Amino acid sequence: MSKILWINPVGTDAYDEVMQKGFESIKRPDTIVDVVSLDKGPEHLEYRYYEALVLPEILHKVKAAERAGYDATIIGCFYDLGLQESREMVKDMVVTAPGEACSHLAATMGEQFSVIVTRSKCISQMKSTLSGYGMKDKLASFKSLGLAVDELHDSEEVTFERMVALSKEAIQQDGAELMVLGCTIQFGYYEKLQKAIGVPVIDAVIAPFKQAELIAELKNQFGWTHSKVCAYEEPPISEIKRWDLEEQYELKGLW
Amino acid sequence: MSKILWINPVGTDAYDEVMQKGFESIKRPDTIVDVVSLDKGPEHLEYRYYEALVLPEILHKVKAAERAGYDATIIGCFYDLGLQESREMVKDMVVTAPGEACSHLAATMGEQFSVIVTRSKCISQMKSTLSGYGMKDKLASFKSLGLAVDELHDSEEVTFERMVALSKEAIQQDGAELMVLGCTIQFGYYEKLQKAIGVPVIDAVIAPFKQAELIAELKNQFGWTHSKVCAYEEPPISEIKRWDLEEQYELKGLW
Amino acid sequence: MSKILWINPVGTDAYDEVMQKGFESIKRPDTIVDVVSLDKGPEHLEYRYYEALVLPEILHKVKAAERAGYDATIIGCFYDLGLQESREMVKDMVVTAPGEACSHLAATMGEQFSVIVTRSKCISQMKSTLSGYGMKDKLASFKSLGLAVDELHDSEEVTFERMVALSKEAIQQDGAELMVLGCTIQFGYYEKLQKAIGVPVIDAVIAPFKQAELIAELKNQFGWTHSKVCAYEEPPISEIKRWDLEEQYELKGLW
Amino acid sequence: MSKILWINPVGTDAYDEVMQKGFESIKRPDTIVDVVSLDKGPEHLEYRYYEALVLPEILHKVKAAERAGYDATIIGCFYDLGLQESREMVKDMVVTAPGEACSHLAATMGEQFSVIVTRSKCISQMKSTLSGYGMKDKLASFKSLGLAVDELHDSEEVTFERMVALSKEAIQQDGAELMVLGCTIQFGYYEKLQKAIGVPVIDAVIAPFKQAELIAELKNQFGWTHSKVCAYEEPPISEIKRWDLEEQYELKGLW
Amino acid sequence: MSKILWINPVGTDAYDEVMQKGFESIKRPDTIVDVVSLDKGPEHLEYRYYEALVLPEILHKVKAAERAGYDATIIGCFYDLGLQESREMVKDMVVTAPGEACSHLAATMGEQFSVIVTRSKCISQMKSTLSGYGMKDKLASFKSLGLAVDELHDSEEVTFERMVALSKEAIQQDGAELMVLGCTIQFGYYEKLQKAIGVPVIDAVIAPFKQAELIAELKNQFGWTHSKVCAYEEPPISEIKRWDLEEQYELKGLW
Amino acid sequence: MSKILWINPVGTDAYDEVMQKGFESIKRPDTIVDVVSLDKGPEHLEYRYYEALVLPEILHKVKAAERAGYDATIIGCFYDLGLQESREMVKDMVVTAPGEACSHLAATMGEQFSVIVTRSKCISQMKSTLSGYGMKDKLASFKSLGLAVDELHDSEEVTFERMVALSKEAIQQDGAELMVLGCTIQFGYYEKLQKAIGVPVIDAVIAPFKQAELIAELKNQFGWTHSKVCAYEEPPISEIKRWDLEEQYELKGLW
């Protein structure tokens, strides 16, 4: 049995219900899954500033999730913001995120893959993050929809047609052998798209969720979680208390 | 429900029973697992020649597994020999192997990991294979036990003590944050070792098995399997028939 | 004339006065310099969590600095946290930080350099950041003092002796040709150290300050500032207003 | 005097005679050269499966060549399959192959070169192999003829025209300064092509043959052959005998 | 106060006066600047042969500059020829050059930049030099004007229009976020160009000059100059004297 | 028949005779070989300054060699100075040098090799040059004798013993599988050394000489020489004449 939390790291609960339903329909029988979003903040994370604004609340929600007994938490944005910080902060709850989960999976499914992003602004940041995971030579290309996050479902037909066109370009010109949807809000397209283009299409919501189920199981069964030596060494409670960080940041007994 | 085959790619069934039992004790309830070894061949794969000798039979066993309705096959050697060939040969059965499964998992559990190998002869080949997966900057070091595969369980105490010493060296000098056991015959040590050294130790038998359960599920539920476009395009049956490959290699109706 | 702001990105003003004095003694005659620290937060940033906590306030201080007419702002921590976010948020005020300024300078002063860090926990994050600047092959090694930030001036003799020993090791064994002090709180040592070891030692406070003077001049004289195309495109005010981000995060008319 | 063996690693002798004649016309006066093909197997190696099928016989032919007194053996396929295995198996006979010989030669003849391949399926495997030789930054591009191996001489005019067009593209758009023919069955075109396009064109049959003459001479005169330490350490005869590998694989006294 | 020398490393003084005037208009108040060219030699350095011809005289001029009390010397060609040699030869005068100064500056102003070169012949050499500085992943592309150095000011309208077109291509297709003018003789265009294309354009004359002012100041104030350990260790005077190098190369008391 | 010139790029003929004799004893029967040194200049090239001083004369000797009908010229220093310049200057005479010839050969003889250098000052330059040839991952290490070039034969016993010790270190600790002698003046040691350490030792005089014989043959028989497109495009005679370069540099009808 695993208890899993999906955090929509935005200040709107608009996507929570649809995702909750989605997870219920694909989860293992004995998985318990909850979806939450943030108390406040921007409604998408297309800018680094928005990421910075929501980062502390994400981390505190992750820390609270461990306290609440979750086995795994997923930070639901393809930028994977807060992933390394979370591993530092928690003891042994496992944490994952779409960029990491999708790219490690895609890397085993073809020689090279391409990532469909909302706007070209995303590319340098995602390239840097995915390269840090070792994906530099696995990336055939990034393909930009030219659509903002909140336009992805305005006309699903338009979005889908662009996805098909970009995928064909990626496969025929860039050497991609499969596609990754590089935004959680691109949900709902993968199945139709992989039928249309004839190669696998990794969904940025499903992949990290199933990965979370796996690593929660590995943790519970074999004690495998991220190492707490060196990079993910925890901040000392004594410091946090001495500096009154809980009071300063209104964390009410989190630590 | 997933049906999974583990191939011990050696000409001895010495490890089949212990592995079968091991898998029974760690599998998901609805997983069916079988373990087979080869009909002939060397008893370990420490030399490239031995790998070459067993490669065709591995591939034919993989192809037959797809025919027999398996959802996933694991080629049970850390060299991952035959992994890419298998993906080319099968239609949609998923295939994995210890090197790939362990390294992608380890890459998410720390900034760098080290791999414990039997003998230093292995290192350049494994480094090349893992680098091909994108692990070049994730590898802190390879640490050599100086033991042949068939000596790994001669004195389990000696083996264990060397593992502890090498792990400490890796963590303190090379920057490793966790360890990977780089040989399937290093089974039986991970639990005691991770207790002794205080960081996770990835087992080369368990990790690919659990990864196989995951990717079998992903294939069955979402249609995700390796891409058949470009690198893993299948050889045409017509050629195989025209050249009488089945007769020449005694494959009796495999294709 | 340039107006420059140094932000000590910690919740203590303990270092402000000494740094202000230091800058007064080394600045160009027509430079105006101010030093500020944060309103709250941890007193050092040795953990990623602490960085996350202070990040929003840093960014808002940077944004306010542009409003207040500063030509350049320096985010005074070798982790360079918030550097890219700042470039996204401001219009044309230039921004720099110690990691970037020191490494680009050091890269022109020898074939390879080593960085002295407080504790080995820092290394993977700094290596990743500096590699992102292109420094991967320029880095001979990171050398760890084994001292926390707040211990750096406990016994200046001890700190200095360790710096000398680590520098010699870096030069003789790792191929370093010069040293970089990888923490702003290592101030006060560079001069004595470069005399002792016979190679240049780049100070993490002085280097970014002088770089800030240069790039402020370049901006004022030639219009050169970071590009606002693509990666550093600004978040739209309309969104910030629509989502009430100023109210939510108590930013009182910042945007 | 050197005795050299060229192995056409396919189950057809269709190319043996033309190659034998070719070698006679370009060899050093005191070189003795023989061409053989395999006893069985596919007629080309466009699929990884075909490579796996022929690999053992190639290796046994290489081992037998050493027994028969050859100074050098060339494995005549641009995939260089079996090259590392051969170096492990033989004592001091030198071994080479087209991919290695052509790329090391081409790397000295221009800043970047392009490789003309039969079909795009080849590219990822060749790129990986050549990158392993250090050629990653030397490769301007791979250009695909869109022709199967057995179509290369169907219409030599069509093949040649495509070669010209692809070469011009490589030179004008990809930065190639010379071309490499990436398949031994592209023989017969290099001379006409280099005249047509004005840059050198390396032939995949001639280059490894002349390289073989050189390294045979170096072995005979200076004792230089591949190192037998570590990666190419030989499998122990005792194991081969104990496991009855000769009987199992019908090798009749090879070892 | 800093005394700076700009060397036009060509056998013509055609550019000296315009550059001298340019420097006077942009220098710090207390900077003294001189411009010299060579006594003989080619009038541009588009060929490696020309670079080799002028290299000794450049180095001797640099050495003499140190004798004459200059604080910094700039070798005024984007190939940066003689930069490392100069650092070896001088004691503590700082030396810089356009390629190094422009690329380290540009690397802080955007995720990727493109370089406008005269002819495509330049590209491989510049790519190699800039990659040596760590810029490999910072380079979006090189864009070639297809104009020889001495044609750059033939029709300034033509040159400018090509610059605009190439810059747009670089930004829209190659991912560049700013531009660098990759030749000192492209002076006079940066201001108009950055207005036309809306991103910063780094000038190959101004950037190294301002960098020289900075590093001269750092040397004078903090003792920071290139390391003299290892790579830039000076040739021993005793050898130079013993071999009569001054007589042989007509250096009249330089050493 | 091939006519080959070896240039000792130093201002002493001390090594000419011993090398001439050496080449006579190892050359192909129909090879004609000449050895020359420079008219003036330093007696070794341990400093970049010395390299710069002799570069023009080397290039003019190479150009003259083509005029004189040589098929190949070898620039006899492991720094490979002037190699790219020479390829630009000549029409079709082939040119090689020790660093390039030894490293491409060594790369085919083991997974990794180490280079024995005179002093550690050499390392960064050689590493950069060899990395440019694609050897970055092939280099196990550089090992420094701590002997100047002119001390290499002072006590041959001392030199030899250091070579043995460094080689053992390289093999046992650094992962080297063979050794390269990284200086032409290390001649006379390879045979004894490879006997002592049990792995091949590539000699920096023999390897480029035999490579020169090969590429001369390839040029004469197949028209293969370095590409003259792009990087090695020749300087136009018209410019050389217009600028009076022959008069200025006393080249008396060379062009």
**Average pLDDT rounded to a whole number, residues F54-81:** 98
Count contacts between D and E (CB, < 8 Å): 5
Would you say residue A254 lies in a domain? Answer: no
Residue from A13, A45, A49 to probe the interface with C (highest C Cβ count within 10 Å): A49
Would you say residue B94 lies in a domain? Answer: yes
Looking at residue B226, its pLDDT comes to 98
Indicate whether A22 and A89 sit together in one domain. Answer: yes
Asked whether F217 and F2 are in contact (CB, 8 A), the reply is yes
Indicate whether C92 and C110 sit together in one domain. Answer: no
Looking at residue E1, its pLDDT comes to 87
Which structure tokens are listed for F27? Answer: 């050359």
Label each residue of E204-216 as H, E or C: CCHHHHHHHHHHH
Would you say residue B253 lies in a domain? Answer: no
For F160-189, the DSSP string reads HHHHHHHHHHHHHHS--SEEEE-SGGGTT-
For residue F228, the chain E residue with the least C-alpha distance is: E121
- State the Cα torsion F54-F56-F59-F64 to the nearest 10°: -110
Residue B98: pLDDT over 90: yes
Residue F114: pLDDT over 90: yes
Looking at residue F113, its pLDDT comes to 98
Give the rounded percent of residues in chain F with a pLDDT score beyond 90: 99
Q: Shortest Cα distance from F46 to chain C (angstroms)?
A: 17
In this structure, what are the phi and psi dihedrals at residue D79, rounded to the nearest 5 degrees? -75, -10
**Are D235 and B84 in contact (CB < 8 Å)?**
no
Looking at residue D136, its pLDDT comes to 97
- d(Cα A81, Cα C204) in Å, to the nearest integer? 27
- The CA–CA distances, whole Å, from B159 to B154, B181, B195 equal 8, 12, 16
- d(Cα F135, Cα F140) in Å, to the nearest integer? 10
**Average pLDDT rounded to a whole number, residues F22-36:** 98
Band (B237; pLDDT cuts 50, 70, 90): very high
Q: Shortest Cα distance from F112 to chain B (angstroms)?
A: 9
Q: C34: burial class by Cβ within 10 Å (0-12, 13-18, 19+)? A: middle
Q: Which residues of D touch F221 (CB under 8 A)?
A: 26
Q: What is the CATH number of the domain that holds E232?
A: 3.40.50.12500
Query: Per residue in A195-228, pLDDT tens?
Result: 999 999 999 999 999 999 999 999 999 999 999 9
Q: Shortest Cα distance from F113 to chain B (angstroms)?
A: 12
**Are B227 and A109 in contact (CB < 8 Å)?**
yes
Q: Which residues of B touch D59 (CB under 8 A)?
A: 49, 52
Q: What is the pTM of this model?
A: 0.97
Indicate whether A174 and A116 sit together in one domain. Answer: yes
Which structure tokens are listed for E98? Answer: 């356009």
B158 three-state secondary structure: helix
Would you say residue E255 lies in a domain? Answer: no
Which structure tokens are listed for E35? Answer: 């411009």
**Are F230 and D178 in contact (CB < 8 Å)?**
no
Indicate whether E106 and E191 sit together in one domain. Answer: yes
Looking at residue B252, its pLDDT comes to 86
Supply the range of the domain harboring residue C139. Answer: 100-202
Looking at residue D1, its pLDDT comes to 87
Indicate whether F211 and F185 sit together in one domain. Answer: no
Strand bridging mode F31-37 / E201-202: unpaired
Indicate whether A81 and A126 sit together in one domain. Answer: no
- d(Cα F47, Cα F50) in Å, to the nearest integer? 5
Would you say residue A238 lies in a domain? Answer: yes
Q: Shortest Cα distance from C112 to chain F (angstroms)?
A: 9
Count: domains in chain E: 2
Residue A252: pLDDT over 90: no
Amino acid, res. A1: M
For residue F111, the chain B residue with the least C-alpha distance is: B124
Query: Per residue in B54-65, pLDDT tens?
Result: 999 999 999 999
Would you say residue C253 lies in a domain? Answer: no
In this structure, what are the phi and psi dihedrals at residue D250, rounded to the nearest 5 degrees? 50, 60
Residue F169: pLDDT over 90: yes
Among B54, B47, B5, B2, CA closest to B208: B5
Per-residue pLDDT of chain D (255 residues; tens, 9 = 90+): 899 999 999 999 999 999 999 999 999 999 999 999 999 999 999 999 999 999 999 999 999 999 999 999 999 999 999 999 999 999 999 999 999 999 999 999 999 999 999 999 999 999 999 999 999 999 999 999 999 999 999 999 999 999 999 999 999 999 999 999 999 999 999 999 999 999 999 999 999 999 999 999 999 999 999 999 999 999 999 999 999 999 999 998 999
Q: Shortest Cα distance from C78 to chain F (angstroms)?
A: 27
Q: Which residues of F touch D134 (CB under 8 A)?
A: 107, 133-138
**Are D82 and B51 in contact (CB < 8 Å)?**
no
Looking at residue B1, its pLDDT comes to 87
In this structure, what are the phi and psi dihedrals at residue D6, rounded to the nearest 5 degrees? -105, 125
Q: Which residues of E touch C230 (CB under 8 A)?
A: 110-111, 171, 175, 177
Distance of CA A46 to the CA centre of its chain: 14
Band (A117; pLDDT cuts 50, 70, 90): very high
- Are chains A and F touching, using the cut-off of 8 Å on CB pairs and a minimum of 3 such pairs? no
Indicate whether A107 and A177 sit together in one domain. Answer: yes
Indicate whether A229 and A106 sit together in one domain. Answer: no
| ipTM of the shown complex | 0.97
Residues of F with CB under 8 A from a CB of C: 120, 123-124
For residue A122, the chain C residue with the least C-alpha distance is: C231
Give the rounded percent of residues in chain A with a pLDDT score beyond 90: 99
Helices (H), E107-155: 121-132
Among B25, B12, B6, CA closest to B149: B12
Indicate whether A211 and A87 sit together in one domain. Answer: yes
Would you say residue B255 lies in a domain? Answer: no
C201 three-state secondary structure: strand
> E155: Cβ–Cβ under 8 A, 6 or more apart, which residues?
none
Residue from E124, E125, E135, E144 to probe the interface with D (highest D Cβ count within 10 Å): E124
Query: Per residue in B74-91, pLDDT tens?
Result: 999 999 999 999 999 999
- d(Cα A102, Cα A77) in Å, to the nearest integer? 12
- The CA–CA distances, whole Å, from B150 to B10, B21, B188, B233 equal 12, 20, 14, 37
The label of the residue with tokens 């010229």 reads F73
Strand bridging mode F113-117 / F72-75: unpaired
Looking at residue C1, its pLDDT comes to 87
Cβ-nearest to F227 among D109, D133, D203 = D109
Which structure tokens are listed for D104? Answer: 């090391």
- d(Cα D148, Cα D119) in Å, to the nearest integer? 6
- d(Cα F233, Cα F181) in Å, to the nearest integer? 32
In this structure, what are the phi and psi dihedrals at residue B202, rounded to the nearest 5 degrees? -85, 130
**Are B48 and D239 in contact (CB < 8 Å)?**
no
Would you say residue E224 lies in a domain? Answer: yes
In this structure, what are the phi and psi dihedrals at residue C14, rounded to the nearest 5 degrees? -55, -30
Query: Per residue in A149-202, pLDDT tens?
Result: 999 999 999 999 999 999 999 999 999 999 999 999 999 999 999 999 999 999
**Are F243 and E128 in contact (CB < 8 Å)?**
no
For residue D229, the chain F residue with the least C-alpha distance is: F177
For chain A, the DSSP string reads -EEEEEEE-SS--TTHHHHHHHHHHHS-TTEEEEEEE-SSS-S---SHHHHHHHHHHHHHHHHHHHHTT-SEEEE-STT-TTHHHHHHH-SS-EEE-HHHHHHHHHTTTSS-EEEEESSTHHHHHHHHHHHHTT-TTTEEEEEE----GGGTTTSHHHHHHHHHHHHHHHHHHS--SEEEE-SGGGTT-HHHHHHHHSS-EE-TTHHHHHHHHHHHHHHHHH------SGGGPPPPHHHHHHTTHHHHTT-TT--
> C45: Cβ–Cβ under 8 A, 6 or more apart, which residues?
C9, C10, C51, C54, C77, C79, C81, C149
Strand bridging mode B72-75 / B94-96: parallel
- d(Cα C1, Cα F124) in Å, to the nearest integer? 41
Give the rounded percent of residues in chain B with a pLDDT score beyond 70: 100
Residue A11: pLDDT over 90: yes
Q: Which residues of E touch A123 (CB under 8 A)?
A: 175
Q: Shortest Cα distance from A30 to chain C (angstroms)?
A: 33
Q: Shortest Cα distance from C120 to chain B (angstroms)?
A: 9
**Are D43 and B233 in contact (CB < 8 Å)?**
no
Residue C210: pLDDT over 90: yes
Q: Strands (DSSP E) along chain B, which ranges?
A: 2-8, 31-37, 72-75, 94-96, 113-117, 139-144, 178-181, 201-202
Task: Tell me which residues of chain E have a pLDDT lower than 70.
Answer: none
Q: Taking each helix axis from N to C terminus, what angle separates A16-26 and A206-222, rounded to the nearest 10 degrees?
A: 60
Indicate whether D31 and D18 sit together in one domain. Answer: yes
- Are chains A and B touching, using the cut-off of 8 Å on CB pairs and a minimum of 3 such pairs? yes
Indicate whether D60 and D91 sit together in one domain. Answer: yes
Indicate whether D90 and D114 sit together in one domain. Answer: no
